[in-house]
Structure 1
Amino acid sequence: MADQKAPRATSNRSTTPVSDSFKEYISSQWADRPDSEVAPLEQAPFTSVRRAKLSALHAGKRLVLPAGQAKVRSNDTDYPFRAHAAFSHLTGWGADTVPGSVLVLEPAVDGHDATLYFRASAGHDSDEFYANSDIGEFWVGPRPSLAQVGSALGIATRDLADFEDVVATSGPDTLLIRAADPDLTRRVDALVGEAPALEVVDTVADRAAGLEILTRDVSELRLVKDAYEIAEMRAAVAATKRGFDDVIDDFPEIVAHTRGERLVEGTFNRRARADGNTVGYDTIAASGDHACILHWTRNDGVVAPGDLILIDAGIELESLYTADITRTLPVSGTFSDVQRLVYEAVLEAADAAFAIVKPGIRFREVHATAMAVIAEKTAEWGFLPVSAAESIEPDKQYHRRYMVHGTSHHLGLDVHDCAAARRDLYIDGTVEEGMVFTIEPGLYFQPDDLTVPEAFRGIGVRIEDDILVTADGAENLSIGIPRTAADVEAWISGAAG
């Protein structure tokens, strides 16, 4: 492998030795590092099946699925690397993916041949080893060998340098996950000469929506989870429950701190790093009025007795599968009468939505069922200018003032999984066994909302669970995390006791 200097090394602070004597010395007297055998990972047979399904959709096309590159956070500091979901889904390579890796499916007589290109371990005779702060072993640790990764994942492997031959021969029959690696996309576009050749779509509607066929297809491939994925989802939920338990245990310290929301975030994130890879998304720790801000992630407020705290959090495993769960807790351990009224309305909406889930229904029915309850409750409390029946009409929707978000989204490698799937397979699609999605109704009464009594203002409640569709119904994967008002109060009381 050719020597490579760190592309972001700055000469005004570099102190890396450059003398020939140093190079000779640092390249010598290293013990042999045996290429230890690696057993095939349990996901390998599943990823082979997934690749075969994708292959059947694109006979004769070269399919290029990059893992992506590290993204800059500040100057020469990067965010932690996370591979593109399509790459991980089709390779089985999770949190330890080498940045810049690319999966290529080349057309063959019978389907496609899969090859995984990545930057293999460099020898100590290369100055990359000590001088390249981006990828050098001295800086970021050793990379696995081609043989180790090939054995673990059950895929043929080649050095990333050989991928240049793939790029150089790209043409109209090359389909690329364009968003995964923008620099690679620009290089391929320049060779093809016309980007639309890589954006083949089936219908005028798809073209109008800007959908790319390969991105669409790999997204739709994840709508139904296989046995390995379901097991990972169960494990992610179990880890997330431990994270919520940790937060409950730390309530005294959290309440005592001037930025208790930050402590909630820190406590949960500690569990995520201990039991998984990291959090699946930025933790929402929204206490008091902050619970009415749907994506509150600043988490810099107090957690005051008498308030509710809405915690929306999920742990991502090393496989990159994540949970997504919300619980709303009374900080003092007991709901007030108004808090309980709102909480139980949201719970009723969640339970009603869950009750209809089974194969064969339309996905949009889950949302409609929850919204019917939200409309009934807000009308019953006198908050709507019309009846509940009138409000749910498409041209009315007054009740949506208090819940503007949707009730469900698919879940898996991405917290909002399958996002590029076609509408007629997602929101308008038929629910199938093996799908995993959230049910998360809520009610949010903004602190300055004059349509509701003062006692309701500043109360925000969401209850979110992760749902697995079974052969004849559904399973709430997160049912073990207390969710009824009585169970939540007992949960907090037990920790305090």
Structure 2
Amino acid sequence: MDSQAHPELTSTKLTSTELASTETSSTIVERDAADDDLANRGAKPEADAPRATSNRSTTPSSSTFADYISSNWADREETLPAPRESAAFAATRRARISAQYPGKRLIVPAGAAKVRSNDTDYPYRAHSAFAHLTGWGADSEPGAVLVLEPTGEGHEATLYFRERAGRDSDEFYANPEIGEFWIGPRPSLAQVESDLGLATEHLSAFQEVLASCDTDTVVVRDADPDTTRALDERRRRSASPATGDDPVREADDALARDLSELRLVKDEWEIQQMRLAVDATARGFDDVIADRPAIVAHPRGERLVEGTFNRRARADGNTVGYDTIAASGPHACILHWTRNDGAVREGDLILLDAGIELESYYTADITRTLPVSGTFTPVQRRVYEAVLDAADAAFAIVRPGIRFREIHAEAMRVIAERTAEWGLLPVSAEESLEADKQYHRRYMVHGTSHHLGMDVHDCAKARRELYLDGRLEEGMVFTIEPGLYFQPDDLSVPEEYRGIGVRIEDDILVTAGGAENLSVGIPRTADDVEAWMRNAG
């Protein structure tokens, strides 16, 4: 995926109190007796459910029904799993962040589900910092919170989440947000404790933590806005008189930065996840090429490309790591083309930028540009090989100790040289590369690399001196993705170039002696791509 950042989706969510307040008075009166009976039995009234829909609910609420539905269930056999492989690595990460915050309570929420429309949610994804510190990925529980409580020699970690409800509660059948009748079984505290190697508590106990928070509490602000607002109020009440600065916000921003920088160097388990994500993505690319006849025949062939790849993502992983870019013809010149509603025509190129995210949340990010007919035209091949030369030149300098920005500079050197050779620049390549010129950047405005891991643009909150100006270390994983994009209406280039967009993107691991291209097995040279197209099916 090209290295321009995507804005994150945000949404608001009504609290149970706000939802209840939308009920009419007649509705409330009609249910008072049933709610009182449920409350007396320790059950949770449906109106208090986080996503109650009482204006159209037909769920029975009588005590007779409640007694009946809570009876005649088989005993559950609770098996405690062995700790998952990621648990030990997550513990090491927690120890590292603990050492940076002695005496501070750290709160890392997973975040709530985000509303898509009315009472339907987007597929749930926990905050990456939470997943990184717990080892809990696609199977994590919405609303969970990790708390690192300071002790004399570090921190004690406790995971708070909403344990499954007993069959004597109405939650399991009347709560469409978290009830097992609606979303399936949920794990017990004991199961998660065994699985993740973390002490666990019911989410209700987290309220006691909130009540005791002061200015020595630091939170990942963007993970759960409701938790952050509650903490801000408590921390500011206990703070010293204002001095013009906001020490609470500054501490939170520092934690976000430090957690982001914690992911700059991947551990052994993370690197293995990256390899698996790349392997799955390679199979997705194979699937797309095998479906070429149907894709070309459909008036919205780009949608078939997207669907074919996404099918593999769901089969071999959790989902796609980002919206698939299936950009055919001139659409390939649009860096973030995700509408994917165009035709895929013989004679054009199609730029496929896609990656599969695993259950662990680690994702690949790979781009290949393919000739739809199976063979590059001479001008298409010329552009393609220039981009490949830029990618190879950038890869050739990767080793521990160089600065991250040098990768981009090396790719840009080749882009400037090729576009100057073709007579597209008003000056020489050397002059264009000067900081106050940059004519060649008209045809590649994005960056060449970004870190990769749990987020497709990983470690985004790291300090510039550790990211763009940082020195490479063994275990870093990032993309190399130069491109050339000649817009269909760009009069600065000859007509034969117009409408051609090419990007080649690979996932790179820094090794002790240099680098490894994790995605090198996906055909890259023009000849290999043409053979790939011929032999598919």
- Please, what TM-score do these two structures have when normalized by structure 2? 0.90
Alignment of 1:409-488 (within 5 A): 409-488=450-529
Query: 2:17 — aligned with what?
Result: none
Match of 1:30 among 57, 73, 78: 73
Query: 1:205 — aligned with what?
Result: none
Mapped contact 1:104–1:116 kept (Cα < 8 A): yes
Partners of 1:7 and 1:199 lie apart in 2 by 28
Amino acid at match of 1:230: I
Partners of 1:11 and 1:48 lie apart in 2 by 43
- The alignment status of 1:128 with 2:167, answered yes or no, reads no
Mapped contact 2:481–2:504 kept (Cα < 8 A): yes
Name the CA shift for 1:4/1:472 in 2 (closer, same or farther; >3 Å): farther
- The alignment status of 1:16 with 2:66, answered yes or no, reads no
Query: 1:207 — aligned with what?
Result: none
Deviates more, 1:2-11 or 1:364-373: 2-11
- Superposed CA deviations along residues 399-430 of structure 1, whole A, max 9, x for unmatched, are 00000000000000000000000000000000
- Superposed CA deviations along residues 426-468 of structure 1, whole A, max 9, x for unmatched, are 0000000000000000000000000000000000000000000
Q: Give 1:4 deviation, angstroms.
A: 5.1
- Percent identity of equivalent pairs: 74
Structural RMSD (CA): 1.1
Amino acid at match of 1:490: A
Match of 1:163 among 198, 203, 206: 206
Partners of 1:318 and 1:304 lie apart in 2 by 35
Partners of 1:355 and 1:113 lie apart in 2 by 44
Amino acid at match of 1:90: L
Amino acid at match of 2:262: L
Match of 1:292 among 330, 333, 336: 333
How many residue pairs get aligned? The number is 487
Mapped contact 2:236–2:248 kept (Cα < 8 A): no
User: SS in structure 1 opposite 2:395?
Assistant: helix
User: SS in structure 1 opposite 2:427?
Assistant: coil
Alignment of 1:373-412 (within 5 A): 373-412=414-453
Partners of 2:44 and 2:75 lie apart in 1 by 21
- The alignment status of 1:368 with 2:385, answered yes or no, reads no
User: SS in structure 2 opposite 1:233?
Assistant: helix
Amino acid at match of 2:523: P
Mapped contact 1:176–1:198 kept (Cα < 8 A): no
Alignment of 1:241-390 (within 5 A): 241-390=282-431
Partners of 1:4 and 1:265 lie apart in 2 by 43
- Superposed CA deviations along residues 221-273 of structure 1, whole A, max 9, x for unmatched, are 00000000000000000000000000000000000000000000000000000
Mapped contact 1:68–1:84 kept (Cα < 8 A): yes
Structure 1 unmatched runs, 5+: 202-210
Mapped contact 1:328–1:462 kept (Cα < 8 A): yes
Partners of 2:434 and 2:103 lie apart in 1 by 48
Partners of 1:51 and 1:7 lie apart in 2 by 31
User: SS in structure 2 opposite 1:309?
Assistant: strand
- The alignment status of 1:189 with 2:232, answered yes or no, reads yes
User: SS in structure 2 opposite 1:199?
Assistant: helix
- The alignment status of 1:117 with 2:117, answered yes or no, reads no
Q: Give 1:169 deviation, angstroms.
A: 1.1
- Superposed CA deviations along residues 7-57 of structure 1, whole A, max 9, x for unmatched, are 333333211011111100001111110221211000111111100000000
Query: 1:99 — aligned with what?
Result: 142
Q: Give 1:379 deviation, angstroms.
A: 0.7
Q: Give 1:109 deviation, angstroms.
A: 1.0
Amino acid at match of 2:434: E
Mapped contact 1:4–1:132 kept (Cα < 8 A): no
Mapped contact 2:91–2:133 kept (Cα < 8 A): yes
Q: Give 1:142 deviation, angstroms.
A: 1.3
- Superposed CA deviations along residues 62-109 of structure 1, whole A, max 9, x for unmatched, are 000000010011111100000000000000000010000000000011
Partners of 1:341 and 1:430 lie apart in 2 by 33
Partners of 1:480 and 1:4 lie apart in 2 by 56
Partners of 1:331 and 1:457 lie apart in 2 by 17
Query: 1:206 — aligned with what?
Result: none
Q: Give 1:157 deviation, angstroms.
A: 0.5
Mapped contact 2:390–2:415 kept (Cα < 8 A): yes
Partners of 1:186 and 1:4 lie apart in 2 by 26
Partners of 2:215 and 2:454 lie apart in 1 by 30
Partners of 1:4 and 1:408 lie apart in 2 by 52
Amino acid at match of 1:135: I
Mapped contact 1:285–1:311 kept (Cα < 8 A): yes
